[in-house]
Structure 1
């Protein structure tokens, strides 16, 4: 278990709730977010046979640190299973890739695909046929309408509702509560403190 602060504690509690103590030997590694991948250098036992890992970090740095750590662990040959908390409802046929985290009470409907390293917060609703790219952060209670497409490394904050069939481009941050009924271009920043969306050019 690799992470920082509250997210690491929450992930530890979640893993303990889905497996018996005899089935898992949980070893938490508290990271300094400023250290990045270097924090793994002194950690022994990650490449042990049968070992697996889970990265639990929040949406800071456009979800990039979680992605970098996951890549480093994959290079070591470490498996990274998805975590589905008790009370989440995941329909048959939903595809979840490595290191996904589905929070308690979340609903993922039929035909949806959740990319690797994506976090779906507690109580979020993901409609049927939705595609969510890798390393996204979907906050608690977010609603994503059926057929929507959410790009890689997108952050959707509290109170966001994405309409049916809408597209949110990669690296967007939508942190303003309300309905999104138009497509959002990649690298767009929508925040309650700004009257208009900001588009990052040349990034």
Structure 2
């Protein structure tokens, strides 16, 4: 029987396992809980313990929430890809994805999310439940889009960006790579790479030299 290793932590792991049971009932699911605070050596040891003998019938999915950080989720995915494991995307029941949308490996599209035509979703990107991604949007790899976020038509979101609850990105806007926008409200101007926007800060902070 084909099997899938579902790797992650806490509620995100439980939700991913439940979703895979719905979309692929014939799979044998093997959840693996990983503590984000365990350190790289412990995480590597856990991955080394997986049964990956037959990559023709074995696949994997990394189900890690924002506490794992986009970079750590990316590291987990990269480790599995180096082992030759397929990592197909997860589109939860109830999500609406237009024909022709490009969805790369290990993406996760939550229940009730809407992704409109001609959009491209980079690998390892998470689109939360109820989020709306307009037409012609480009999402870089390892992006985190929280539940209910709205992204306007033609927007471009760089790699490893986090968009928190209540964020609305205007049509055609660009969010540079490695930004964290965790302040509810509408973004009507482009945001430079490595910008940090949080409700506790009156003004955006740009990280220089990182």
Question: Normalised by the size of structure 1, how large is the TM-score?
Answer: 0.96
2:35 paired with 1:29: no
Q: 1:33: Cα distance to partner?
A: 1.0
Unmatched 5+ stretches in structure 2: 1-5
- Alignment counterpart, residue 16 of structure 2, candidates 11, 17, 21: 11
Q: 1:99 aligns with which of 99, 106, 109?
A: 106
1:111-150 matched pairs, under 5 angstroms: 111-150=118-157
CA contact (8 A) 2:89 2:106 kept: yes
Higher strand share: 2
Task: Give the conservation status (yes or no) of the 8 Å contact 1:47–1:77.
Answer: no
- Of 24, 37, 46, 1:40 maps to 46
Q: Does 1:67 align with 2:70?
A: no
Task: Give the Cα–Cα distance (whole angstroms) in 2 for the partners of residues 142 and 40 of structure 1.
Answer: 33
Q: Point out where structure 1 has 5 or more consecutive residues left out of the alignment.
A: none
CA offset at residue 19 of structure 1? 1.7
- Tell me how many residue pairs correspond in the alignment: 201
- Runs of 4+ in structure 1 displaced over 6 angstroms? none
- Contact 1:132–1:152 at 8 Å: present in 2 too? yes
Provide closer, same or farther for how the CA distance between residues 202 and 144 of structure 1 changes in structure 2, counting only shifts above 3 A.
same
> Residue deviations 1:136-163, cap 9 Å, x none?
0000000000000000000000000000
CA contact (8 A) 1:190 1:196 kept: yes
Q: Is the 8 A contact 1:95 1:113 kept in 2?
A: yes
Cα displacement string for residues 61-105 of structure 1 (whole angstroms, at most 9, x for unaligned residues): 541111001000000000000000011000001000000000000
1:38 Cα shift? 1.8
Q: TM-score, normalised by structure 2?
A: 0.93
Distance 1:26 1:120 in 2: 22
